[in-house]
Amino acid sequence: MIVGIDPGHGGVNRGCWVREFGDEADYVLKLGRRLREVIPGSVLLRQYDQTMDLYQRNEIATSNECDIVVSLHANAVEGDVLHGLSCFSFPGNERTLALGKRINILCPPELVAKPRDGVLRAKPMVIADKTPWKARARSVLRHFGCDVLLIEVGFGAVDFAAMLDLGVQYRLCLAINKAIGEIYGQQD
C-alpha cells in the first residue's frame, strides 16, 4: 500500500492567506512532511516550495504506484458557521468516501466543525464532489490516476490556533494513518 501525500499549492500559487496563520502552501507542506513521517513508505508529491501543476503531481503518484493520494489544503472561508476539518471524495468512490468519514470520526476534537462559541452543531463534512463552489476540489479529485481524498484541514481564519498546534497536527496525522489502515488495509 503506497500513499501519496500531496501538499496543495506551492511556488507562485500560495493558496489562502490569513494574517495570524500565514499562507496555505507553507502550512500544508509542513503538515505533509509530518504525515510522511507517520505513514511508512508514503511518497511526498511536493518536496519543497515549488510550482507544480496537477499533471506533474499525478506523474509522481503514478511513477511511485500510489494506491491513494491524500491532498492537503486549508480553507479560506471566514465566519462562525463554516469551520473544522472537511473531506472531499470523488462521486461513486465508496472507499474514499468511507476514508473521509473515518478521518472525520478520528480527527482531533480541536478540528471538529463547531462555531466559535464552542457548541457542536454539525459533524465534519464528507462531500461527494457535487458542490459547484468546490471547483478546486473537483479539479484535484479528477487529475489523479488512483483514489484521491482532498482534506481541508480547517478554516485558516477561524481554526488557525488548532491548525498550528504541533500536538493537534501530530494527532491528525495519526488519525489519517489509522483511517487509511482501516479502510485500505494495514500499512507495510
Residue-wise pLDDT tens digits, 32-65? 999 999 999 999 999 988 888 888 999 999 999 9
137-166 mean pLDDT: 79
Tell me 50's DSSP state: -
Residue 70 domain boundaries? 3-184
Query: H/E/C letters for each residue in the chain?
Result: CCEEEEECCECCECCCEECCCEEHHHHHHHHHHHHHHHCCCCEECCCCCCCCCHHHHHHHHHHCCCCEEEEEEEECCCCCCCCCCEEEECCCCHHHHHHHHHHHHHCCHHHCCCCCCCCCCCCCEEECCCCHHHHHHHHHHHCCCCEEEEEEEEEHHHHHHHHHCHHHHHHHHHHHHHHHHHHHCCCC
* pLDDT score of 137: 60
Ranking 61-75, 105-119, 170-184 by mean pLDDT, the lowest is: 105-119
pLDDT tens, position by position, 3-28: 999 998 877 776 666 666 678 888 89
Task: Tell me the pLDDT tens digit for each residue of 121-137.
Answer: 334 444 444 444 455 56
Give residue 22's identity as a one-letter amino acid code. G
Looking at the predicted structure, is the pLDDT value of residue 165 above 70? yes
From 65-69, 100-104, 176-180, the region with the lowest mean pLDDT: 100-104
Nearest CA among 114, 101, 100, 104 for reference residue 159 = 114
The C-alpha angle with vertex 93 and arms to 91 and 96, in degrees rounded to 5, equals 110
Q: Mean pLDDT, the chain, as a whole number?
A: 80
Structurally, the chain folds into a number of domains equal to 1
Cα→Cα distances 168→60, 69, 97, 106, 180, Å: 29, 22, 23, 12, 18
Please state the pTM of the whole predicted model.
0.84
Please give the grid coordinates belonging to residue 65: 504506484
* DSSP letter, residue 182: H
Q: Cell triple for residue 25?
A: 502552501
Find the CATH number of the domain harbouring 43.
3.40.630.40
At 45 the pLDDT is 95
